[in-house]
């Protein structure tokens, strides 16, 4: 295989793995913003919480990495319902600005709490042997963990797609995103729907947080550090669109990876340049409603 | 042909006119923040360095209020203009030897305004999340560009040891920050005067109209885009002045002025104080920074918890910002007195 | 609320200002990163300060010290400048120390010159900082301390004929790689690629950068990152990509393997060779006592690192100077003068403050990461260069020459 093809394959592979992380972590944010117009800047805090739960489970209780991820996702999803019912609910009718204030406040509190509980030193998790090392395909060796990310991402996308497109509840969610009032008037309980999707989104964020430890390490400021990245994926993809979020994650993941590989000197530019170009042409993102 | 007027309509019209005029009349309560600023100078002479930083943020928040509070433009890239202003005087002093401070402010205003005009002309066609991300990306790309040219800008280590001429050729910058504080306060007062004129002018009323109902403004033939670009340009210029003051009072600037955090923080301050009321910028920036200072002394490690809690409580109990609380209290006591003048 | 708070502070300042006695209570302002993305860096130094004061308070009797701690905030310079000014004007501290970030130290330099207060830097590593004020001394390192000697060592001893350098894209990163390049090219080596790794704020996904290096097949890769969360990310990406198997050795300054994160890094870092001034495993009596005291105070899973060792020496130097001046530290210039030429056997080896530059002169150790017999990760010293000065100032490069 010629050199440029090998490079292209590895950029695609690394970009795909990165994209899966972006998708998993951002999709919940997209749905909450699309469905309720709620600006949840504490989304990263849920991801961080998931990460720390994984750290505790694997290090202190000796539970395996994969089951820990699942437990963290479920636990954070469940706890997020408390926040949604107790705090967020009060502000659905409020302005974006008030929502920003509330959720930024929560993110700050989450950072301080995590610092108190875990200290500021970045944490990492022990990976099981089956996720270590690399898979050699002859022309190129691929890190096993990234292959795992891709497989997991594809599996999740399939499940979400099926849930969104083929089930009754998915149809209701889509209806509510398209036109909330109409959905309510035909008897869809949008409030309940929102609680469910909020929990799902937060759970997925927690999963993303757990997966991110291996990529970035985990420290309390994770709650806000990558928020901009998630918001970019959401905006470029289009609010509330599963398809859009996936496409945005792929585009950003692959172009960012390629940019860093080929033109490292301008590495920081690529993500923002794509964002600006896409939004100038399609203001509502790939699949957002204009 | 003039429509026939009856007495009731004339009376209503007069009342409305009187209301509009009365709104931009100075009220005695407006003196309070200024008196407080002056009192601080005499009461806390060894805290003026912090004080001048608060004033710079008030100015920055004020510029944001003009576009966010009055015109309803939500941006997360306002730090771009703060940064342009900061680097105008920074690079001016470091590379060109332009060390006169007051003319530096004008230069910062001009350059930041140009930045505001150009980006505003392109970006203000968009709204909501799209605008948010576009402004944010613009600010970060400026920062990245600054880092690419770090030979020139000093990158994240910034431009060290900037020396500015004594203020008006007379006042040296003392360690206690007396000069800086008075300087920042005077600049703030002058800018405030102009901003106040703007928001109570017909132009300001048109902006509020755009914020409240953009379709109707289009319908009555108001040049919405140009109005938005105009106010954005002015606000950018004022943010530039704030940035220039920031550089001058610190005698130092680094690329972190362009950071997302800077844009987000000023927005949080403004919302905390209350948007669209000018003095919200005052209160928000002051309350936020004083609480931050207080909590970070109390616990250098966990102070963010206190700030976070403050924000959450503000949203839950002070919907219209801290200023809203004061207004409610004021309205409660003055209920009877104001009855007649409400439209 | 504003009034009440400020009034309270002023009253406190009055109350504290009124102490006069034979035995001086010396107030030391400590400015460190206690919050934000790099909070762990502040903590590492803070712990060392507290430990030293606790164990050695008796050394300066009858005098006592009070540490007034403030959060340095983000590396903007502005916050550090404000809190430092207020430590001087409001809290009336007589000595300033700490300073994790170079921008903070740079912003504060004119303030200490104006106030004539000694400023003892415990971390900030941009080389030319010490030139900014005659009141600055530095006990930590400059980027050149580690980077420059690594050049010849990599070429002669590790066998790197070609090297790709990668660095976090901010001044310390450029400093460090410039220093390495200067030493390495002088020794005869060839730098094949130079890759900026993005901003110091976020840990990036290192994979694409490292994949590019892997494809260009140099003998070694020299990586500089700030020693916070980035370090773990480098170790993970390096391991995941199987770069050691591919024959590319990982070298760099010791920020790559901070002791407090080393145990988390896994087998991937074994064989990494760094140049630096400290490691928990350095074999000397002072270090044994230091690490024992540390573990006793903070638990066996807490490790000091090079920042803690610098913090320890910083407080040591301050205490020795207080003793030398018999508590009479009011004259900042005299304090700095008394610190010049200060030397000791430290946990890092022999250290001295260069009277000419007020910067540290110290031993640099080439260290390889190994799996120790007890199963933990540790280091083996491959060689030590004695009395290394900041080469940037010796060679008068850029701002270092002014």
CB contact under 8 A, C74 and B256: yes
A89-98, A132-141, C78-87, C351-360: least confidently modelled range: A132-141
Check residue B12 and give its pLDDT: 79
CB contact under 8 A, C203 and A217: yes
Look at residue B14 and tell me if it is in a domain.
no
User: For residues B62 and B276, what is the distance between their CA atoms, to the nearest angstrom?
Assistant: 9
Check residue C18 and give its pLDDT: 42
User: How does pLDDT run across C247-268, given as a tens digit for each residue?
Assistant: 999 999 999 998 888 888 888 8
Backbone angles phi, psi at C364, to 5 degrees: -115, 130
Check residue C7 and give its pLDDT: 47
Tell me how close the Cα of A170 comes to any Cα of chain C, in angstroms.
33
Look at residue B42 and tell me if it is in a domain.
yes
Of A14, A121, A267, the CB nearest to C40: A121
Looking from the CA of B199 toward its CB, the CA atoms found within 13 Å total 27
* Residue-number span of the structural domain to which B220 is assigned: 30-259
Verify that C271 and C394 share a domain, yes or no: yes
Look at residue B124 and tell me if it is in a domain.
yes
Q: How many domains does chain C have?
A: 2
User: For residues C345 and C354, what is the distance between their CA atoms, to the nearest angstrom?
Assistant: 15
Check residue B4 and give its pLDDT: 55
Tokens of A225: 């550090």
- Higher-pLDDT residue of C320 and C8 is C320
Verify that C169 and C269 share a domain, yes or no: yes
Verify that C248 and C337 share a domain, yes or no: no
Verify that C176 and C193 share a domain, yes or no: yes
Pairing type for strands C119-121 and C95-98 reads parallel
Q: Given the structure tokens 């494809």, which residue do they identify?
A: C215
Whether residue B44 contacts residue C6, with contact meaning beta carbons closer than 8 Å, is answered with yes
Grouping H, G, I as helix, E, B as strand and the rest as coil, residue B272 is helix
User: For residues B101 and B165, what is the distance between their CA atoms, to the nearest angstrom?
Assistant: 7
Contacts of A167 (CB under 8 A, 6+ apart): none
Percent of chain C predicted with pLDDT > 90: 53
User: How does pLDDT run across B213-254, given as a tens digit for each residue?
Assistant: 888 888 887 888 888 999 999 999 999 999 999 999 988 898
Residue of B nearest to C34 (CA): B301
Average pLDDT of the segment spanning C333-337: 93
Check residue A231 and give its pLDDT: 92
Check residue B335 and give its pLDDT: 62
Check residue A290 and give its pLDDT: 60
CB contact under 8 A, A87 and B312: yes
Verify that C120 and C237 share a domain, yes or no: no
Average pLDDT of the segment spanning B6-23: 76
Chains B, C: CB contacts within 8 A come to 131
pLDDT at C89 over 50: yes
Tell me how close the Cα of A45 comes to any Cα of chain C, in angstroms.
14
User: How does pLDDT run across B294-304, given as a tens digit for each residue?
Assistant: 888 888 888 88
Contacts of B168 (CB under 8 A, 6+ apart): B102
Average pLDDT of the residues of chain C? 88
Residues in chain A: 290
Verify that C383 and C251 share a domain, yes or no: yes
Check residue A266 and give its pLDDT: 76
Verify that C296 and C383 share a domain, yes or no: no
Verify that C246 and C304 share a domain, yes or no: no
Of C3, C103, C111, the CB nearest to B157: C103
Check residue C14 and give its pLDDT: 45
Q: How many domains does chain B have?
A: 1
With contacts defined as CB-CB under 8 Å, which chain C residues touch B40? 2, 6
User: How does pLDDT run across B186-219, given as a tens digit for each residue?
Assistant: 999 999 999 998 888 888 888 888 888 888 888 8
The Cα-based distances of C96 to B51, B153, C66, C178, C280 in angstroms read 22, 28, 12, 30, 27
Torsion of CA C372, C377, C378, C379, to 10 degrees: 90
User: How does pLDDT run across C363-396, given as a tens digit for each residue?
Assistant: 999 999 999 898 889 999 998 988 888 888 888 8
Grouping H, G, I as helix, E, B as strand and the rest as coil, residue C107 is helix
pLDDT at B105 over 90: yes
Interface test with A, best of B124, B128, B305, B321 (most A CBs within 10 A): B305
pLDDT at C1 over 50: no
Whether residue C146 contacts residue C253, with contact meaning beta carbons closer than 8 Å, is answered with yes
For chain A, 290 residues long, the average pLDDT of each consecutive 10-residue run is 82 92 92 82 94 94 93 95 90 85 92 90 86 80 89 94 89 83 86 89 94 88 88 91 92 90 80 91 82
CB contact under 8 A, A134 and C241: yes
User: How does pLDDT run across B313-341, given as a tens digit for each residue?
Assistant: 888 887 777 777 777 777 777 665 554 44
Check residue A1 and give its pLDDT: 67
Tokens of C181: 């390049």
- Distance, C-alpha B6 to centroid of its chain: 44
Of B141, B268, B308, the CB nearest to A109: B308
User: How does pLDDT run across C110-152, given as a tens digit for each residue?
Assistant: 999 989 999 999 999 888 899 999 999 999 999 999 999 999 9
Look at residue B331 and tell me if it is in a domain.
no
pLDDT at B311 over 50: yes
Chains A, C: CB contacts within 8 A come to 109
Tell me how close the Cα of C168 comes to any Cα of chain B, in angstroms.
11
* Residue-number span of the structural domain to which C196 is assigned: 144-276+363-401
pLDDT at C245 over 70: yes
User: For residues C202 and C200, what is the distance between their CA atoms, to the nearest angstrom?
Assistant: 6
User: For residues A138 and B13, what is the distance between their CA atoms, to the nearest angstrom?
Assistant: 85
Residue of B nearest to C8 (CA): B44
User: For residues B251 and B49, what is the distance between their CA atoms, to the nearest angstrom?
Assistant: 12
With contacts defined as CB-CB under 8 Å, which chain A residues touch B275? 97
With contacts defined as CB-CB under 8 Å, which chain A residues touch B307? 105, 108
CATH number at residue C317: 3.40.50.2300
Look at residue B165 and tell me if it is in a domain.
yes
pLDDT at B18 over 80: no
Give DSSP secondary structure letters for A98-148: HHHHHHHHHHHHHHHHHHHHH-SS-B--PPPGGGSSEEE-SS-EEEHHHHH
Q: Given the structure tokens 């300033």, which residue do they identify?
A: C96
Of A7, A124, A146, the CB nearest to C232: A124
The Cα-based distances of C76 to C73, C100, C370 in angstroms read 8, 12, 37
Whether residue A245 contacts residue A27, with contact meaning beta carbons closer than 8 Å, is answered with yes
CB contact under 8 A, C77 and B155: no
């Amino acid at each position: 295989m010629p050199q440029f093809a090998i490079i292209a394959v590895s950029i695609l592979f690394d970009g795909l793995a990165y994209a899966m992380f972006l998708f998993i972590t951002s999709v919940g944010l997209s749905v909450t913003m699309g469905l309720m117009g709620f600006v949840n800047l504490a989304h990263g805090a849920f991801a961080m919480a998931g990460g720390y739960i994984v750290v505790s489970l694997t290090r202190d209780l000796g539970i395996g990495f994969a089951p820990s991820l699942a437990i963290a996702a479920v636990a954070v999803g469940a706890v997020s319902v408390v926040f949604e019912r107790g705090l967020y609910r009060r502000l659905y009718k409020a302005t974006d600005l008030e929502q920003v204030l509330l959720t930024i406040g929560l993110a700050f509190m989450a950072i301080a709490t995590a610092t108190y509980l875990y200290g500021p030193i970045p944490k990492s998790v022990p990976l099981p042997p089956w996720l270590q090392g690399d898979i050699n395909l002859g022309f190129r060796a691929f890190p096993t963990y990234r292959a795992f990310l891709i497989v997991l991402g594809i599996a999740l996308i399939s499940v979400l797609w099926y849930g969104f497109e083929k089930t009754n509840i998915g149809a209701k969610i889509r209806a509510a995103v398209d036109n909330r009032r109409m959905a309510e008037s035909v008897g869809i309980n949008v409030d309940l729907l929102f609680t469910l999707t909020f929990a799902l989104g937060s759970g997925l964020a927690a999963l993303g947080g757990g997966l991110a430890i291996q990529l970035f390490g985990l420290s309390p400021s994770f709650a806000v550090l990558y928020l901009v990245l998630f918001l970019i994926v959401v905006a470029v993809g289009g609010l509330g669109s599963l398809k859009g979020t996936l496409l945005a994650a792929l585009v950003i993941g692959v172009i960012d990876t390629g940019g860093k590989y080929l033109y490292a000197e301008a590495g920081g530019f690529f993500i923002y340049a794509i964002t600006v170009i896409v939004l100038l042409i399609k203001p509502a993102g790939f699949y957002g409603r204009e | 042909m003039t429509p026939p007027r009856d007495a009731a309509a004339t009376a209503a019209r007069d009342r409305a006119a009187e209301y509009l005029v009365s709104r931009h009349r100075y009220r005695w309560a407006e003196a309070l923040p200024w008196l407080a600023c002056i009192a601080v100078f005499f009461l806390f002479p060894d805290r003026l360095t912090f004080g001048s930083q608060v004033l710079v943020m008030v100015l920055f928040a004020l510029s944001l209020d003009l576009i966010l509070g009055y015109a309803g433009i939500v941006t997360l890239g306002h730090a771009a203009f703060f940064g342009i202003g900061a680097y105008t005087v920074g690079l001016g002093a470091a590379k060109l030897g332009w060390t006169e401070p007051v003319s530096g402010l004008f230069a910062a205003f001009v350059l930041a305004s140009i930045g505001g005009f150009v980006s505003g002309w392109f970006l203000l066609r968009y709204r909501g999340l799209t605008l948010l991300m576009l402004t944010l990306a613009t600010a970060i790309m400026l920062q990245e560009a600054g880092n690419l040219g770090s030979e020139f800008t000093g990158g994240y280590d910034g431009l060290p040891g900037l020396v500015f001429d004594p203020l008006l050729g007379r006042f040296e910058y003392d360690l206690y920050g007396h000069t800086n504080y008075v300087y920042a306060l005077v600049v703030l007062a002058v800018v405030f005067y102009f901003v106040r004129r703007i928001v109570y002018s017909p132009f300001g009323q048109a902006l509020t109209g755009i914020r409240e109902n953009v379709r109707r403004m289009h319908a009555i033939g108001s040049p919405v885009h140009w109005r938005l670009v105009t106010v954005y340009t002015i606000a950018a210029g004022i943010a530039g002045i704030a940035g220039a003051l920031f550089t001058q009072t610190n005698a130092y600037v680094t690329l972190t002025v362009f950071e997302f955090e800077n844009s987000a923080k000023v927005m949080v301050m403004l919302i905390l104080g209350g948007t669209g009321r000018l003095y919200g910028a005052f209160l928000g920036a002051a309350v936020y920074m004083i609480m931050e200072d207080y909590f970070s002394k109390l616990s250098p490690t966990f102070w963010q918890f206190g700030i976070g809690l403050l924000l959450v409580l503000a949203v839950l109990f002070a919907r219209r910002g801290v200023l809203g609380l004061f207004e409610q209290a004021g309205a409660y006591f003055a209920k009877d007195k104001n009855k007649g003048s409400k439209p | 609320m504003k009034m009440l708070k400020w009034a309270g502070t002023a009253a406190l300042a009055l109350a504290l200002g009124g102490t006069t006695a034979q035995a001086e209570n010396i107030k030391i302002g400590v400015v460190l990163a206690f919050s934000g993305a790099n909070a762990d860096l502040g903590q590492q130094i803070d712990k060392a300060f507290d430990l030293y004061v606790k164990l050695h308070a008796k050394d300066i009797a009858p005098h006592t010290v009070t540490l007034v701690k403030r959060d340095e905030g983000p590396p903007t310079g502005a916050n550090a400048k404000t809190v430092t000014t207020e430590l001087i004007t409001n809290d009336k501290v007589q000595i300033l120390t700490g300073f994790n970030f170079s921008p903070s130290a740079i912003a504060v330099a004119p303030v200490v010159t104006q106030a004539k207060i000694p400023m003892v830097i415990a971390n900030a590593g941009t080389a030319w900082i010490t030139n900014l004020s005659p009141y600055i001394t530095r006990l930590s390192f400059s980027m050149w301390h580690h980077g420059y000697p690594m050049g010849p060592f990599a070429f002669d001893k590790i066998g790197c004929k070609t090297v790709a350098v990668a660095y976090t894209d901010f001044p310390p990163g450029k400093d460090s790689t410039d220093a390495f390049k200067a030493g390495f090219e002088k020794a005869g080596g060839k730098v094949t690629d130079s890759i900026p790794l993005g901003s110091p704020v976020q840990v990036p996904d290192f994979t694409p950068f490292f994949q590019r290096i892997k494809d260009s097949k140099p003998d070694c890769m020299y990586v500089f990152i700030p020693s916070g969360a980035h370090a773990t990310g480098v170790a993970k990406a390096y391991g995941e990509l199987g770069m050691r198997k591919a024959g590319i050795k990982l070298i760099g300054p010791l920020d790559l393997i901070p002791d407090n994160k080393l145990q988390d890094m896994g087998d991937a870092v074994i064989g990494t060779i760094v140049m630096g001034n400290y490691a928990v495993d350095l074999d000397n009596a002072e270090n044994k006592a230091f690490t024992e005291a540390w573990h006793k105070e903070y638990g066996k899973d807490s490790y000091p690192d090079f920042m803690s060792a610098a913090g320890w020496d910083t407080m040591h130097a301050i205490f020795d100077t207080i003793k030398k001046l018999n508590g009479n530290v009011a004259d900042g210039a005299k304090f700095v003068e008394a610190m010049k030429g200060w030397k000791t056997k430290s946990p890092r080896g022999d250290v001295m403050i260069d009277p000419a530059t007020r910067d540290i002169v110290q031993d640099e150790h080439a260290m390889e990461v190994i799996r120790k017999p007890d199963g933990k990760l540790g280091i083996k010293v491959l060689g030590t260069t004695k009395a290394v000065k900041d080469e940037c100032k010796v060679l008068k490069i850029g701002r270092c020459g002014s």
